Structure 1
């Protein structure tokens, strides 16, 4: 009887939480009393529970209740993004550097920052600007629109600016036009520690009705590194670029494109590289004061004694890519 009572008591305790169907709650809650001969049960010392912090989860009472999860960590606070760079800020850091006249501004572009594409490029240190000059000229007077037929017949050489029968003595004597599309891509070298420095790349697509005025060509026209030194007292640039925009003012009245053509200047006739074409060069500028400076330039000359006598035409047709260091043209007889 003693062992049987212990076994029954253990079974009842084990199944006290699950009452079979049809059994009253009183029967489950009150186990049968042990016999007189059975020893009194030993009092069980209660187990002290550790005090839980208010943030920890509590255990639900009963088998049917689901546990309450621990308090979720506070949501992460989104890091505020930097404000988008304005067009004026882009001009200061990403506009092409080195010209002795103001470079076309991002604020003057047709597309501005539509869709945020310029801001997205600026966040990565890049600036992009398309320059597209177009010139159309025509003679509106009752004067000859070409060289009279009494002059010698044009050849493949003399047609480039030569005074020969049926040719134009100047651009616009009869209707003519030129169109150039020139993208400038710049990169801010301040991102790698070269404060104020800039890498620049540009190419041009030019179509023209008069090769003597401006030849038709697709060519790289800029690959340069600009770097200020000694807190801006000295500016240095090296690479391929048009030196005419760097050291002299070739444009009349602030015009971006000269109506007289790039060859219609003494420096260009003497071999100075001019827009939209370039040559390898090194330029140093000493800013003596805010209003006084001195410049020094060394540039590989355009072929002033090339086959046609037109330095820009001969440069284009002797170096189509635009990145040749030496001039492939040699001194030859000039044709007129």
Structure 2
């Protein structure tokens, strides 16, 4: 398990857990039979959802392809409309040479990945244009991070015995390559296929571990004039739900530790994508309801998930079941006099077989859940006429998970950040984030009973500055003070940390 505080991560050694399920049930079946039936039901439910989704896609695709192949289906106005649209696209291309790539950027995520204009290669040699002409787009990037505790007497150890990120000087690199294919050229509304890979390496293995495998394999399209968005495949739902990245920009590379509750609850992420069907219902331009039927990651944690399935291609891992996610949200982009606003609330329900912290000697339980509420609001626009998104923002996050099945049971975050605060640095970001991570009282009591020094929570405050140095090049510098950076148990030497962090993100 790990806790990430902006660019600084506080990782926690995994503590083996066991769980308890009531030995009797109304049906008279054994616990083993009940769990088997539940797993089978969950798997059949996911297969039915996948089959239904595939029928939707194939029906829509066949109908729209038939229209393309049958010229008589076009009304007399269609050729004129197409010519008018081509004129508009040509006009946009003349004013913005990168506009023609817009439809090739990954769709359906809250995560903001820089477009071709903000890459180091842009359209050098016309390679990107040549690929775009046949419907292919791409984006790749590398993130390299370093963390080190500046406090003296930090109980330095060997890397193998390290308890948290930064206790010893710690380095990690994460590298991505995404390729998209435009299906709208065949008449499929907003249609897109994405195939992406991810590779990561850590000097401190519990922070990772090392892996190379898929990040995403997905099919996306819209229905009913974009009222319904549909995505299916191996998905990292970290990029689809909750919004754990301060400022929403991958270049800023500022992640809050709130993601820890989501991952222990089974949500998939970039190193651990899983099969899923995602549906987003757009009530209007601002209100939405997003639902996912996702194969859970391992209930034993991220480290176990990556160890058992490093490539990400396996359908499932031991004890993993079905996770159902739902998020209601209100999102409005900044405009002149209109502040950027994003409100969201969500829940996840997971029938995976979890170890039970309340009854450590009993069998596994299968009724885990988590809940979250988050909000971000632009408080002041610094350059409304030229760039409405620039300004000062405030936000908060509150998360909860039941303490009997989850080591992290509560999480609170307050954030204040600025985008383009200075005219001379219009795309830099500054962030100050305060967090409080609360541990399960069952886990705390169990550790105290063994005579260990324990604490109920871990508080942190972080300040980071992200400089946009050149197209596609970002540098993030941060300083974080963490009260109790380890998990639950600690020693006097590991009671506090002052982590300096530095990271780069380079996009191509």
* Shorter-chain TM-score range: 0.5 to 0.7
Q: Distance in 1 between matches of 2:354 and 2:227?
A: 43
Q: Distance in 1 between matches of 2:151 and 2:97?
A: 48
1:139 maps to 149
Task: Tell me how far 1:220 sits from its aligned partner.
Answer: 1.1
Task: Tell me how far 1:254 sits from its aligned partner.
Answer: 3.6
* 1:166-202 deviation per Cα after TM superposition (whole angstroms, max 9, x unaligned): 6222211211111111100000001222121100000
Contact 1:244 1:274 in 2 (8 A): yes
| Corresponding position: 1:86 with 2:124 | no
Contact 1:279 1:300 in 2 (8 A): yes
1:204 maps to 198
Contact 2:267 2:297 in 1 (8 A): yes
2:267 maps to 272
Q: Higher helix fraction: Structure 1 or Structure 2?
A: 2
Which protein has greater RCO, CA pairs closer than 8 Å, 6+ apart? 2
Q: Are residues 295 and 276 of structure 1, via their aligned partners in 2, closer, same or farther at CA, if it must alter by over 3 Å?
A: same
* 3-state secondary structure, aligned to 2:161: coil
Shifted more, 107-116 versus 205-214: the winner is 205-214
* 1:87-128 deviation per Cα after TM superposition (whole angstroms, max 9, x unaligned): 23312x100112113232211111111111100000000001
* 3-state secondary structure, aligned to 1:115: helix
Task: Tell me how far 1:255 sits from its aligned partner.
Answer: 5.3
Q: Which of the numbers 299, 305, 327 marks the counterpart of 2:317?
A: 327
| Corresponding position: 1:119 with 2:119 | no
| Corresponding position: 1:314 with 2:299 | no
| Corresponding position: 1:291 with 2:286 | yes
Shifted more, 229-238 versus 247-256: the winner is 247-256
Q: Distance in 2 between matches of 1:238 and 1:116?
A: 32
Task: Tell me how far 1:210 sits from its aligned partner.
Answer: 2.0
* 1:56-82 deviation per Cα after TM superposition (whole angstroms, max 9, x unaligned): xxxxxxxxxxxxxxxxxxxxxxxxxx8
Q: Are residues 127 and 168 of structure 1, via their aligned partners in 2, closer, same or farther at CA, if it must alter by over 3 Å?
A: same
* 1:106-165 deviation per Cα after TM superposition (whole angstroms, max 9, x unaligned): 111111111111000000000011021221111122141446x9xxxxxxxxx9xxxxxx
1:17 maps to none
1:231 maps to 225
Gaps of 5+ in 2: 1-89, 321-352, 361-446, 448-508
Contact 1:88 1:106 in 2 (8 A): no
* 3-state secondary structure, aligned to 1:283: strand
* 3-state secondary structure, aligned to 1:127: strand
1:3 maps to none
Contact 2:244 2:256 in 1 (8 A): no
Q: Distance in 2 between matches of 1:276 and 1:255?
A: 18
* 1:313-333 deviation per Cα after TM superposition (whole angstroms, max 9, x unaligned): 211121132121122457687
Q: Which of the numbers 105, 117, 137 marks the counterpart of 1:95?
A: 105
Q: Higher strand fraction: Structure 1 or Structure 2?
A: 2
Gaps of 5+ in 1: 1-81, 150-158, 160-165, 306-310
2:462 maps to none
* 1:227-254 deviation per Cα after TM superposition (whole angstroms, max 9, x unaligned): 1111111101000011011011111344
Bigger Rg over Cα: 1
Q: Distance in 2 between matches of 1:332 and 1:284?
A: 27
* 3-state secondary structure, aligned to 1:250: coil
| Corresponding position: 1:242 with 2:236 | yes
* 3-state secondary structure, aligned to 2:206: coil
Shifted more, 227-236 versus 326-335: the winner is 326-335
* 3-state secondary structure, aligned to 2:307: helix
* 1:270-317 deviation per Cα after TM superposition (whole angstroms, max 9, x unaligned): 111112331111110011111111111111111113xxxxx2221112
Total equivalences in the alignment: 232
Q: Pairwise CA RMSD of aligned residues?
A: 2.7
| Corresponding position: 1:184 with 2:178 | yes
Alignment TM-score, normalising by the size of structure 1: 0.63
